[in-house]
Structure 1
Amino acid sequence: MKQLPLLQRIGPLMLFLITAQCLLGPAWAQEAGRPELVIQNGHSDGVNAVAFSPDGKYIASGSRDRTLKLWEAEAHRLVRTLEGHSHWVNAVAFSPDAGTLASGSYDKTLKLWEVSTGRLLRTLEGFSEPIFSVAFSPDGKILASGSGKAIQFWEAGTGRLIRTLEGHSDSVLSIAFSPEGSILASGSADSTVRLWEVETGQPMKTLEGHFTLVDTVAFSPDGRTLVSGSRYNVLKLWEVGKGRLIQTLEGHSDSIFAVAFSPNGRYIASGSRDRTLKLWEASTGQLLRTLEGHSDSVFAIAFSPDGKTLVSGSADGTLKLWEVATGQLLQTLEERSVGVFSVAFSPDGKYLASGGDDHTLKLWKAGTGQLVRTLAGHSDRVFSVAFSPDGKYIVSGSSDRTLKLWEVDTGELIRTFKGHSEEVLSVAFSPDGKYIVSGSSDHTLRLWEASTGRGVRTLYGHTGPVESVAFSPNAKYIASGSDDGTLKLWETSTGRLVRTLKGHSGKVTSVAFSPDGKILASGGEDRTLKLWKAETGQTLQTLEGHTWPLSWVAFSPNGKYLASGGGDHTLRLWEASTGRLLRSLEGHSGWIDSIAFSPDSKTLASGSEDTTLKIWSVDRGELLVTLLAFKDGNFIAYTPAGYYTASPDGDRYIGWTVHPEPNHSVETYPAQQFAKGFYQPEVVEKVLATRSLAELK
Structure 2
Amino acid sequence: MRFRVCLLTVLLLLSAYCHAAAGTPPAEPILRIETGMHTALIKRIAVDGLGRYLATASDDKTCRVWDIRTGEQLRVLRPPIGHDYEGRLYSVAMSPDGRYVFCAGWTGYGWDKTHSVYIFERESGRLVRRLTGLPSVVNHLAVSHDGDYLAAAMGEEGVRVWRLSDLSLVGGDKDYAGESYGAAFDGKGHLATACYDGAVRLYRVTDTGISLLAKTKVPGGSRPFSLAFSPDGTQLAVGFTDTPAVTVLDGETLSLLGAPNLTGVDNGNLASVAFAADGSLLAAGRWVSDRGCPVRRFKPSDFVEYKDYDTGKSAVVTLCPLPDGGLAYGTVAPRWGVLRPDGSFGMTRSPAIRDYRTSAKNFLVDRTGETIAYAATPKKGFYRFALPGRDLRLIDVPTPDLAAPRTQAPGIAVTGYEGSRTPLLNGQPLKLKEFETAYSLAIAPDNRRLVLGTSWNVRAYGADGRPLWQTPAPDTVWAVNVSGDGRAVVAAMGDGSIRWYRMEDGHEILSYFPHADGRRWVLWTPAGYYDASPGGEDMIGWNVNNGPDHAADFFPASRFRDVFHRPDVVDLALRTLDEDRALAAANAARGGDVRSPSVLTARPPVVEILSPAPGDAFTSPDMTVKFAVRSPGGEDITAVRLLVDGARVAEDHPNLAGRGFEPSVLQSKVTLPQRDVVLSVAADNKNGPSAPATVRLKWAGKAAAAPPAAKLYVLAIGVGQYADKSLSLQFPGKDANDFAEAMAQQKGRLYSDVQIRTLTDGAATKDAILDGLDWIERATTQHDVAMIFLAGHGVNDKNGDYYFLPANTDLEKLRATGLPFLEIQKTIRNIAGKTLFFVDTCHSGSIMGAGRRGMSDLNGVINELASAGNGAVVFAASTGRQYSLEKPEWQNGAFTKALVEGVKGKADNRHTGRVTFKMLDLYISERVKELTRGEQTPTTGVPGTVEDFPIAAD
| Aligned amino acid, residue 215 of structure 2 | T
Q: Is the 8 A contact 2:142 2:151 kept in 1?
A: yes
Count of equivalent residues: 469
| Aligned amino acid, residue 217 of structure 1 | L
State yes or no: 1:243 paired with 2:254.
yes
1:263 to 277, 291, 305: 277
| Aligned amino acid, residue 100 of structure 2 | T
Distance 1:482 1:280, change over 3 A: closer
Match in the other structure for 2:230: 220
| Aligned amino acid, residue 311 of structure 1 | A
Cα distance in 2 for partners of 1:685, 1:292 equals 43
Gaps of 5+ in 2: 1-33, 108-114, 288-292, 376-380, 408-439, 475-486, 494-503, 512-524, 530-539, 545-551, 558-562, 575-593, 605-639, 647-675, 682-692, 701-781, 786-831, 838-858, 872-954
Q: Deviation digits for residues 405-431 of structure 1, max 9, x if unmatched? A: 6994998999531455449xxxxxxxx
| Aligned amino acid, residue 330 of structure 1 | G
Match in the other structure for 2:193: 186
Cα distance in 1 for partners of 2:472, 2:274 equals 45
Alignment of 1:473-552 (within 5 A): 483-484=459-460, 506-507=470-471, 551-552=508-509
Q: Is the 8 A contact 1:509 1:552 kept in 2?
A: no
Shift of 1:154: 2.1
| Aligned amino acid, residue 62 of structure 1 | A
Shift of 1:280: 0.9
Cα distance in 2 for partners of 1:617, 1:241 equals 68
Shift of 1:112: 1.3
Q: Is the 8 A contact 1:404 1:415 kept in 2?
A: no
Task: Report SS of the residue matched to 1:81.
Answer: strand
Shift of 1:442: 2.9
Match in the other structure for 2:372: 396
Alignment of 1:121-132 (within 5 A): 121-132=128-139
| Aligned amino acid, residue 250 of structure 2 | E
Distance 1:466 1:641, change over 3 A: farther
Match in the other structure for 1:311: 328
Shift of 1:668: 4.8
Q: Deviation digits for residues 439-471 of structure 1, max 9, x if unmatched? A: x953225xxxxxxxxxxxxx342233699xxxx
Task: Report SS of the residue matched to 1:102.
Answer: strand
Bigger drift between 104-113 and 412-421 goes to 412-421
State yes or no: 1:54 paired with 2:49.
yes
Task: Report SS of the residue matched to 1:464.
Answer: strand
Cα distance in 2 for partners of 1:382, 1:57 equals 45
Distance 1:228 1:419, change over 3 A: closer
| Aligned amino acid, residue 111 of structure 1 | Y
| Aligned amino acid, residue 178 of structure 2 | D
Cα distance in 2 for partners of 1:55, 1:159 equals 24
2:319 to 295, 301, 305: 301
Shift of 1:63: 2.1
1:168 to 173, 176, 180: 176
Shift of 1:601: 6.3
| Aligned amino acid, residue 254 of structure 2 | G
Q: Is the 8 A contact 2:373 2:402 kept in 1?
A: no
Cα distance in 1 for partners of 2:862, 2:58 equals 33
Task: Report SS of the residue matched to 2:258.
Answer: strand
Match in the other structure for 1:45: 40
Q: Deviation digits for residues 270-292 of structure 1, max 9, x if unmatched? A: 12211221111231212320112
| Aligned amino acid, residue 461 of structure 1 | R
Shift of 1:198: 0.9
| Aligned amino acid, residue 237 of structure 1 | V
| Aligned amino acid, residue 261 of structure 1 | F
Match in the other structure for 2:301: 283
1:155 to 163, 170, 189: 163
State yes or no: 1:335 paired with 2:351.
yes
Cα distance in 1 for partners of 2:348, 2:247 equals 30
| Aligned amino acid, residue 174 of structure 2 | E
State yes or no: 1:416 paired with 2:400.
yes
Q: Is the 8 A contact 2:40 2:58 kept in 1?
A: yes
Shift of 1:241: 3.0
Cα distance in 1 for partners of 2:387, 2:233 equals 65
Cα distance in 2 for partners of 1:82, 1:571 equals 15
Give the TM-score taking structure 1 as reference length. Answer: 0.54
Task: Write 1 or 2 for the structure with the bigger share of strand.
Answer: 1
1:320 to 334, 337, 340: 337
State yes or no: 1:99 paired with 2:99.
yes
Cα distance in 2 for partners of 1:133, 1:202 equals 20
Give the TM-score taking structure 2 as reference length. Answer: 0.41
Q: Deviation digits for residues 561-605 of structure 1, max 9, x if unmatched? A: 98279xxx98799xxxxxxxxxx996579xxxxx99726669999
2:286 to 258, 265, 273: 273
Q: Is the 8 A contact 1:187 1:194 kept in 2?
A: yes
Question: Which structure has the bigger radius of gyration?
Answer: 2
1:69 to 64, 70, 78: 64
Cα distance in 1 for partners of 2:270, 2:306 equals 17
Cα distance in 1 for partners of 2:404, 2:152 equals 49
Match in the other structure for 1:598: 566
Q: Is the 8 A contact 2:285 2:317 kept in 1?
A: yes
State yes or no: 1:669 paired with 2:637.
no
| Aligned amino acid, residue 235 of structure 1 | V
Match in the other structure for 2:213: 204
Give the percent of matched residue pairs that are identical in Structure 1 and Structure 2. 15
Distance 1:418 1:259, change over 3 A: closer
State yes or no: 1:80 paired with 2:75.
yes
Task: Report SS of the residue matched to 2:271.
Answer: strand
Alignment of 1:19-34 (within 5 A): none
Match in the other structure for 2:90: 90
Match in the other structure for 1:619: 597
State yes or no: 1:116 paired with 2:123.
yes
| Aligned amino acid, residue 349 of structure 2 | L
Match in the other structure for 2:443: 443
Shift of 1:333: 1.1
| Aligned amino acid, residue 214 of structure 1 | P
Distance 1:201 1:505, change over 3 A: farther
Distance 1:358 1:295, change over 3 A: closer
Shift of 1:123: 2.8
Task: Report SS of the residue matched to 1:75.
Answer: coil
Cα distance in 2 for partners of 1:147, 1:410 equals 48
Shift of 1:79: 1.3
Cα distance in 1 for partners of 2:443, 2:285 equals 38
Shift of 1:336: 3.6
Distance 1:409 1:272, change over 3 A: closer
Q: Deviation digits for residues 602-630 of structure 1, max 9, x if unmatched? A: 99999xxxxxxxxx995342589xxxxxx
Q: Is the 8 A contact 2:43 2:90 kept in 1?
A: yes
Cα distance in 1 for partners of 2:694, 2:869 equals 29
